Amino acid sequence: MISLAIALVALALLYYYSIKSFKYWESKGIKHDKPIPLFGTNLRNFMVKKSMTELAAEAYWKYPNEKAVGFYRAVRPELVVRDPEIIKRILITDFLHYYPRGLNSQRKVFEPMMRNLFFADGDMWRLLRQRLTPAFTSGKLKAMFPLIVERAEKLQARALSAASANRTIDARDLMARYTTDFIGACGFGLDADSLNEEDSAFRRLGTKIFKPNFKDILVLLMKSAFPSIGRHFNILQRIEYDMLHLTKQILEQRNYEPAGKNDFVDLLLECRKKGLIVGESIERRKPDGTPDTATLELDDIIMAAQIFVFFAAGFETSSSATSFTLHQLAHNPEVQKKVQEEIDRVLAKYNNKLSYDAVKEMTYLDWTFREGMRMFPSLGFLMRECVRTTPVPELNTTLDRGVRIFIPIQALQNDPQYFEKPNEFRPERFSPEEFSKINKYAYLPFGTGPRACIGERLGLMQSLAGLAAILSRFTVEPAPETKRYPEVEPASGIVQNVKGGLPLLFKERKVT
């Protein structure tokens, strides 16, 4: 009887804990769906039935007259923002109130691979951003371009093999191999050869990063429902050894000194040689109100974390965006023809060779890629966390510390109030004349403000070069098994993916 009583009390306490925050949005006057004990309004995401991007989009469309919609991830209140003015406030105007992504504890990062520029918050983020920004100047990008050309030629060769055999090829897998090879070369000075080697180690690593297992889902639930306990569980443990081992190998090969390869590892080594990173604290202030001083040492673990995110971000986002653009071109042959005519015309000026300057001249290709990213952005949402009680005038309320904000990019970029006929694939909407009329806070594939993607120009360059390489030699067409409207993979995390790949036929062009 005593054991039964203890069990009942424990269940009662658990139930109370699981619902104690469920009046939060009601008290703020924010509309929301009715939450379920322990799971909140996020049950389908925990059950891997819907991605977070899909749930955020559902909330967006379900409440069309609201500027924001309440959401509960387990017991934690979150806010899905629908209004571009509030988005501007969060990402720019009141940035200092919303600088964290909320994926880590602000003061201490427990997971080694989370100590990177994307996931880190507070002083660690600011100091890393300060030191790493010089890696992405135009001069450094231009110096990398010969490495891109080599990978683009291998990309053409792999596509040619499939075209000659009239064989369907998964555009998602093809472009992932291309971006993996690019990241291997420009990031680490390595020849990953994912385009030729079917079971490349780099390709396996990329796949492993973005394929969560059952344990990962349980850890995610634990982190959401019991943050103080869940923070001690490592969701990236399955790839931690691989990344630390890879980093150690590369650093030892270079004797912990820059090797003159002008790649990302060289940059990190140069950063470490400069010594301690020192800057103004974003988290702490002195008694007189001025920012305190923050410092950070680039130790081996922090370097490995930067290598991890450079690899993960470059591998997944670009391959997702380029393959979806190819999918749309296969279904819009008139647009594809215009893209190819521009590519042919520009390449003719450069002896039919891809170059940095040639790609910069491919304006219509750029519009086309941006249109692909509008319809299916790699990052389906942005996330921020409120660090102190902050008024939101547009909502006539305040947000408290710890509340996370979701900006549903997928929904915003497909909303007819911002993009006329959003289901129509029309690159011309990105011409200067038309794009100047679009609310810039409704188009955010790379984010905006101080935490905008640091690798935007690099991502654009490798993506446009890959598309130019394919479309200069091939016409893409739907395969018999191609789905016109691919389903989103429900296990997708921050980067969204399509279920079952993007099968297409590649037909060799006869360009005179």
Q: Residues 242-252: pLDDT tens digits? A: 777 778 888 88
Query: Residue 94 above 70 pLDDT?
Result: yes
Q: Which two tokens stand for residue 343?
A: 């590519």
Q: pLDDT grade, residue 478 (50/70/90)?
A: very high
Cα–Cα distance for residue pair 182/129, rounded to 1 Å? 23
Q: 503, 168 in Cβ contact below 8 A?
A: yes
Cα–Cα distance for residue pair 493/512, rounded to 1 Å? 44
What pLDDT score was predicted for residue 236? 56
Mean pLDDT of 317-340: 95
Query: Residue 239 above 70 pLDDT?
Result: no
Query: Residue 328 above 80 pLDDT?
Result: yes
- Closest C-alpha among 511, 421, 471 to residue 159: 471
Q: Which residues pair with 68 in a beta bridge?
A: 81
What pLDDT score was predicted for residue 200? 54
Cα–Cα distance for residue pair 395/83, rounded to 1 Å? 10
Mean pLDDT of 250-255: 84
Residue-wise pLDDT for 171-219, tens only, equals: 998 998 888 888 777 777 766 555 555 555 555 665 555 565 555 555 5
More confident residue, 235 or 123: 123
Least confident stretch, 235-239, 328-332, 426-430: 235-239
Across 43-57, 104-118, 248-262, 390-404, which has the greatest mean pLDDT?
390-404
Query: Residue 311 above 60 pLDDT?
Result: yes
Q: pLDDT grade, residue 163 (50/70/90)?
A: confident
Query: Residue 152 above 80 pLDDT?
Result: yes
Mean pLDDT of 362-377: 97
What pLDDT score was predicted for residue 46? 84
Buried b (16+ CB within 10 A) or exposed e, 327-354: bbbbbbeebbebbbebbeebbeeeeeeb
What pLDDT score was predicted for residue 188? 73
What residue ranges define each of the domains in the chain, with the CATH number in brackets? 26-507 (1.10.630.10)
Least confident stretch, 6-10, 226-230, 250-254: 226-230
Cα–Cα distance for residue pair 191/31, rounded to 1 Å? 52
Query: Residue 8 above 70 pLDDT?
Result: no
End-to-end CA distance of the chain: 88
Least confident stretch, 220-224, 306-310, 322-326: 220-224
Q: Which two tokens stand for residue 362?
A: 């491919």
* Tokens 């009046």, located at residue: 23
What pLDDT score was predicted for residue 226? 52
Cα–Cα distance for residue pair 178/156, rounded to 1 Å? 10
More confident residue, 119 or 228: 119
Residue-wise pLDDT for 271-308, tens only, equals: 888 889 999 999 888 888 888 999 999 888 888 888 88
What pLDDT score was predicted for residue 56? 95
What pLDDT score was predicted for residue 317? 83
Q: Is 271 annotated as a binding residue?
A: no
Q: 467, 354 in Cβ contact below 8 A?
A: no
The angle at the Cα of 52, spanning 107 to 38, to the nearest 5 degrees, equals 70
Q: pLDDT grade, residue 106 (50/70/90)?
A: very low
Residue 277 phi, psi (nearest 5): -85, 125
Q: Which two tokens stand for residue 231?
A: 């923070």
What pLDDT score was predicted for residue 249? 81
Mean pLDDT of 47-66: 94
Query: Residue 512 above 60 pLDDT?
Result: no
Cα–Cα distance for residue pair 433/87, rounded to 1 Å? 24
For residue 282, the surrounding DSSP H or E stretch is strand 277-285
Model confidence, pTM: 0.87
Alpha carbon of residue 40 to chain centroid: 25
Task: Provide the mean pLDDT of the chain.
Answer: 85
